[in-house]
Structure 1
């Protein structure tokens, strides 16, 4: 089973920490892309979340978001297609038998079409282990999902309802522990 990568560096408290970029992806018909994940060390720990991951050395957040979208889904966009950052999130969570911290920037991407298939061949070894599914969801489906299962970031359904009609230019910050 894979462990956290070298991009997770102990912070002042000795907790693995990294910078990350995430993307809230809308299809042309308004549906939102969510990925489903699980912790291989704790099979009961499952969640839905947006595309994204850690920054590679020297990589800017926009570049990381675009790279992660391609790795995790095969969907290609350019950094100029991204809107934001619309949200910054500082999270502490338990994953792979360790407590970790991640600081994330979220961007919006509005696709021109409605992708039907998600390509999985570009995923890293860890992504291959963690990612167990994906769904394009409507606003109503997102709200129902968030009411019955874990969706990250918390409050995504409310944020998405505002972002669908355009971004107000404010980058909000949330802390999740």
Structure 2
């Protein structure tokens, strides 16, 4: 099956993304549950975020992605300084992806998560959201990438430091 919304299989995709880690007062972080469209039987948990568009800062992209993917509305300046950056390589939709990521942590209280603003492909490949602590996520073996539990720990630490200052 070829999906016209995806690049031709085998195309190397290089992208820069902004990722946002919403942290509740109990230290749990909001993640999304989904799968590769070519591997729906292998679901995983991943961070909120997406591509930085031309003319956007990482914070602007993070703010937009937070609103589009889970319905949390925060201005870009509310994201603060990035808590981490990394580059990962993985395959999705039959394409190797080299992804430069900037992570922001935001403290949130009770939030209403909605998928109402997601794009069609997101709606087809994201099934749920969940609040996770790093140890519990690590124990499932279902993090989309090995770095995610550590990123959850960094996000919680960053929020705790902001509260303390």
CA RMSD of aligned residues (A): 2.2
Question: Does residue 4 in structure 1 map to residue 1 in structure 2?
Answer: no
The CA deviation string for residues 105-160 of structure 1, in whole angstroms up to 9 with x for no partner, is 0011112x211x311110012211221110022x3xx3122222231442433443
Question: Does residue 114 in structure 1 map to residue 117 in structure 2?
Answer: no
User: Alignment partner for residue 156 of structure 2, among 164, 167, 173?
Assistant: 164
Q: Which residue in 2 is equivalent to 1:145?
A: 137
User: Alignment partner for residue 135 of structure 1, among 115, 118, 130?
Assistant: 130
Distance 1:123 1:59, change over 3 A: same
Counterparts of 1:159 and 1:58, CA distance in 2: 27
Q: Give structure 2 stretches of 5+ with no counterpart.
A: none
Question: Does residue 66 in structure 1 map to residue 63 in structure 2?
Answer: yes
Does the CA contact (< 8 Å) of 1:34 and 1:49 recur in 2?
yes
Give the TM-score of the pair, scaled to structure 2.
Answer: 0.83
Does the CA contact (< 8 Å) of 1:146 and 1:157 recur in 2?
yes
Number of equivalent positions: 156
Give the TM-score of the pair, scaled to structure 1.
Answer: 0.77
Q: Give structure 1 stretches of 5+ with no counterpart.
A: 169-177
Does the CA contact (< 8 Å) of 2:23 and 2:155 recur in 1?
no
The CA deviation string for residues 75-98 of structure 1, in whole angstroms up to 9 with x for no partner, is 111112113211112111111111
Q: Which residue in 2 is equivalent to 1:33?
A: 30
Question: Does residue 51 in structure 1 map to residue 52 in structure 2?
Answer: no
